[in-house]
Every structure is written in structure tokens, then in C-alpha cells.
Structure 1
Amino acid sequence: MKSEQEYKQEIVEVGRRLYERGLIVAGDGNISIRVKDGILTTPRSVCKGFLSLEMIVKMSPDGTTKLDGTYNASTELPMHMLIYQMRPDVNAVVHAHPPCGTGYAAAGFALDKALISEVILTLGCVPLAGYGTPSTNEITDAMKPFIARHDALLMANHGAVAYGSTLESAYGRMETLEHFARISLVAKLLGRERELGKEEVDKLIDLRERAGYMSSDKRCQACSFLSDERKPPTQEKHTDEFEELITLTRSELIELVKRASQLAQEGLS
């Protein structure tokens, strides 16, 4: 079993990686690990890319009382505690603001299409939880319907959270979420997202279960292929006056980008 200092070092390292890869900026995001006698977590209002061991805060097992540390724990610790309460298999949580993934969340879209085999194998679909004011019960209330059957969530107009049995697995899921969001966006810009068929997805899910990455009760993570009876609660579909999909050819898209750049330059001159 790792020592408390080793767990703190893991948090410092993951904070650095999140910052260097642009998944957080300034004082954004928070990280936690569940240890035998409490919760180790990042401090509030500090850039997580430049943490030291002394900055890590130790909280009581229920997250309500500070046991050690000169800094104060993040005000978003309750979302971590909800995940720990609902998922006994989870021992680490990462909350970040990955740009592309958060863009999907701000636009009102989940990352729930079966596009990439590796994502299905290692992560599953990422649902969109409704908006809640940061550091309030609105956040945890919006997340609650999705935590049991998913290993990562988008948070509307906010960011993303990922979790796992270790901090490395939680971080890996956050990184995969952002990677998938970028691939999905490129496919959209090219005019087509070719989803895998149900038979193809079922084979991948079977493989994932045999490899021990997912238990059979989480099979509904392949969101695009659920029957209506088994679907978990989902956020109301995003609609607005621009809901109609507009498709452009590649040349039209390039011309549009060039024109936007020209207009931007004219505005600066």
C-alpha cells in the first residue's frame, strides 16, 4: 500500500499534467484521492500546475472536517464526495475544464456516439449533466442520475469530471474524454460522423467485460444503443432557434474560415 506522501505526490503530478496539457488554467479544477482514513484533495484558488506536497489538504472520510493542511479544500469537494458515496469502487476523482469537451457541454451535447472503438473499450459514453451553480447542491443534484453507470460526465456550461479506482485511471479517462471530443468535432467539421453499428458495439462491450474494464451492469454506457426501457435519465435535448443542421463542403468551410479571418483583421485595423 502506498504511503500518504506517495498519494500526495500523485496529486501534484496529475495537477501538473492537467495544466501542461491545457485541461485546466489558472485556479481551475480539483483532484482528490480516497485513502484509508480520509480524503486527500487539492486546495482552492491555487493553480494545480504548480502544487507542492505541503499544499495538499487532508479531509475527514465524509469530507466535512479538515484533518491536516494549511490551505482550505476546494468548495467543489461535495461533488467528489457524492461520487465516493455512490461508487465504492472509485478511489480518485478529477474535475477539469477541457476546452473541447467543455465546448460540447456548453453547446448542450453529450459525447455519446459510438465513433471510436478505443473510447468504447476504455471509457464508454459520456453523458451531459444539467447545469448547476458551482459549489452548490445544484451541481450534485444534476450529476446524481449518471454517476452509477458512467465513469465520466460532462457538466453543462461548466466542465467535466472523471473518476476511477486509481488517480491514474481517473486522469486517463479525463484525457480520453478530451481526445474523443476533438475527434468528434473534426468528424462534424468534415460533414459526417460514421457511427459503429449495434453489432460492432456489442462485440466491443463484450471484449471490455472480458478484459475486466467494465462490469455487465454498466453495459448501458453504450448510450446510442440502449432500449428505451433501459436508458438512464438524460438531460433534456438542447434546442434553440439554430437547431437545424447546416452542412458545408470542405471548400465552402475553408472559404468561410478565410472570410472570418479577413473580417477579424479588418476589425482590428
Structure 2
Amino acid sequence: MNTASQEALKKELIETGKKLYERRLVVARSGNLSCRVQDETIFITATGTSLGNLCDGDIITVDLSAPLNPEEQRLTSEFGVHSRIYRNFKNVAAVIHCHPPMTNAYFAVSPQLKTLTLESKIFLGDIQVVEQDTPSITRPELVIEALKSNNLAVIRNHGVVAMADSFTNAFHLIETLEEAVKTVCVARLFKKDILDTIDKALKEEFRQESPAFPMFSPEHIQGIVDLVNSDEFIAAKGKELDLTLQLAVKLDGTDKAYRFNFEKGRIASVERDAQAPFVISAPSAAWEQVFSGKLDPFVAVTQGKMKLTGQLGQLSRWYVPFSRLFELFKQVPFK
């Protein structure tokens, strides 16, 4: 990256700090930012800096491939989290760690987010919460594990960590979470018990004893088809919303692909190819998260963990039946 590009990157980092401060997502000298300059080189804000008033001198350049300089006293205590993110997620270009007040307050008393809007469900999904009992993040490996299923993680009693391909997208995740928490708090003022039943329909269990099949094997896929075609909720919504389309799933790096031919909510047939207007593809690690129920494919697509051929906006017409379909994925044991 040439000098001009590096200066532009520093400017974007500084502007992101100002936005976080103006939106009151950080205060005083809390939080830190970093971005990838080259494969093994990052910019990161120094310890004790105010994100709302950053200058070039507050930004440190670190070579991740070189031994850490023990005399670098300005390096933030959260460097371990930042460095591990860049080493574990090669497509990540920016990381934001901040302390949103509403989000911190909510997760201090609640174990998980109650998403009340469809936008929150699609863009946020299931937020993992990492337990912590120290002022700074001392177990970064737990944060890395949480980020495998979502580009945003909450560190209880501390703050959040967001990663993305740009500062803008990482900022939007944090901003969306803070707004979702505010919505939940306001909803509770109007109807206290709504938080106990909001996701009931999508969390019903349909577990049954069955053998575990190799992931993406014909038997594994057929098990999913059988569950979908016997589900009354999908059948009813499929007819109501005319769920008739072709959707394919593909395992990256292999020739394994399956095309589901939907007719009014029922999977009428399955073909062994990806010749469909909508194709969801991902590597094995992402599909394991999906089939385990830890990763929502809608969220995975918006966060870049899975790729979608076709328009997500068109698929969102059938968001409700597809959400149930993805919920049923985890009911079929795999190995």
C-alpha cells in the first residue's frame, strides 16, 4: 500500500473514532480501533487515546509477523484481541472495540438479545456473549470463538467487538445493536411480558432420535427435506406466501451442491447441482456453524461469512418460512 493510501486509511480511522464519540458509543479514553494495512501489518490506536480526538501520532503501526517490541509502552491492552482477529479472519480489514452504554446495561442483566424487528434478526442474528471479570480482555481466545458465528460479540460488563471488511460496516453492526437494545427497552415499557414470547414460534423443538450422517451427504440433505416437508408451519406459510422457487446450497472447495425445488413451501425434488437463481455457498466451517444452529444463513450472508448468488432482498419475502427451515437444519444430526 502506497503512502497516499495509508494516509487515507488513517483519516478513515480518525473519522470513525469521531463518529463513535459523537454517538456516545465511547467516552473519555475508552475503546480502540485497528485496520489492516497489508497482510501482516495493521494500524491500531495507542493506549490512553481519546477516540473522539485522534491525530496521526495516536496511531501505531504494528507488524504482526515480527516479535512484539517489549519497549512499546503505548500498545493498548486489547492488542491481543485485535491481532488474533487479523490472524484468524483473513478477510477482516477493520476492528472496533467500544463500550455502548445501552448495550452494556442490557447484557449486564440479560443473557441474550431479544430481537423485535426483522432488520435486527437479519443483520444481527444470535449475538454471542463472552463472560469477563477483568477491566480489559484477558481471554481473547473466547472472543475469537464467539466471532466465528457472528461478526459482532458482546463482552459482558465491558463492551463489544465488531469486525468487518471496512470501518463503515463494523460501525453499522455496533450502531444496529445499540438501536435494537433501545427498541427492546422501549417495548418493555409498553408490554412487559412481550419479551417472554417474542421468539416462541421460531424456537419450538422438533427433535427426534436419528443417526448422524456426514455433513452434506445425500442422507444428511434428505433428512432436512423430510423435516421440511412434514412441518406444518412451513407448509402453511409456503402456501400463504407462494414459496415457489429454486434454491441451491453449495460446499466450497468440493463438488457437493444440492438444488431444492420448492413448490408452495414443499420441497418437490432435489437435484445434485447448483443451477438455481439463488445459491448459498460457504466453506465447511461456516456450514458446520449453520447446521449446528449457531449461525443464521441470513446473518451470515449480510456479514460476509457465506456468499449468496441472487438478491437477498428477493429472498426476504419468504423470511419467515426460511427462518423456520434454517431452524430445522440443526434437528438433523451430522458428523
Give the TM-score normalised by the residue count of structure 1: 0.70
Distance 1:171 1:62, change over 3 A: farther
Q: Distance in 2 between matches of 1:31 and 1:136?
A: 15
Alpha-carbon offset, residue 120 of structure 1? 2.4
Alignment of 1:1-269 (within 5 A): 3-36=5-38, 37-62=40-65, 65=68, 72-111=74-113, 113-135=114-136, 137-138=138-139, 140-190=140-190, 191=192, 192-193=194-195, 194-195=198-199, 197-198=201-202, 217=287, 219=290, 220-222=294-296, 225=327, 227=330
Q: Is the contact between residue 124 and residue 173 of structure 2 (CA under 8 Å) also seen in structure 1?
A: yes
Q: Give CA deviations for 1:189-241 in whole Å, capped at 9, x if unaligned.
A: 321133384369xx9xx9xxx698x98636433499584788xxxxxxxxxxx
- Name the amino acid aligned to 2:295: Q
Residues 109 and 29 from structure 1, CA distance in 2 versus in 1: closer, same or farther, beyond 3 angstroms? same
1:147-194 deviations in whole A, cap 9, x for unaligned?
A: 211110110111111110111111111111111111122222321133
Structure 2 residue matching 1:9: 3-state secondary structure = helix
- Greater relative contact order structure (CA < 8 Å, 6+ sep): 1
Distance in 2, matches of 1:87 and 1:26, equals 30
Matched residue of 1:84: which SS?
A: helix
Segments of structure 2 that go 5 or more residues without pairing to the other structure are 203-233, 238-242, 248-277, 300-322
User: How many residues of Structure 1 are paired with residues of Structure 2 in the alignment?
Assistant: 219
TM-superposed CA distance for 1:86, in Å, is 2.2
Structure 1: gaps (5+ residues): 231-269
Q: Do the aligned partners of residues 136 and 19 (structure 1) sit closer, same or farther apart at CA in structure 2, a change above 3 Å counting?
A: closer
Contact 2:115 2:184 in 1 (8 A): no
Bigger Rg over Cα: 2
CA contact (8 A) 1:32 1:94 kept: yes
Check 1:132–1:99 CA distance in 2 against 1; reply closer, same or farther (3 A cut). same
Amino acid at match of 1:17: K
Overall identity of the aligned pairs, in %: 28
Q: Please give the secondary structure, in 2, of the residue aligned with 1:28.
A: coil
CA RMSD of aligned residues (A): 3.3
Contact kept in structure 1, 2:115 and 2:180, CA below 8 Å: no
Q: Tell me: CA distance 1:27–1:63, structure 2 relative to 1, closer, same or farther (3 Å).
A: farther
Against the structure 1 CA distance between its residues 176 and 52, is the aligned structure 2 distance closer, same or farther, given a 3 Å change threshold?
Answer: same
Aligned to 1:238: none
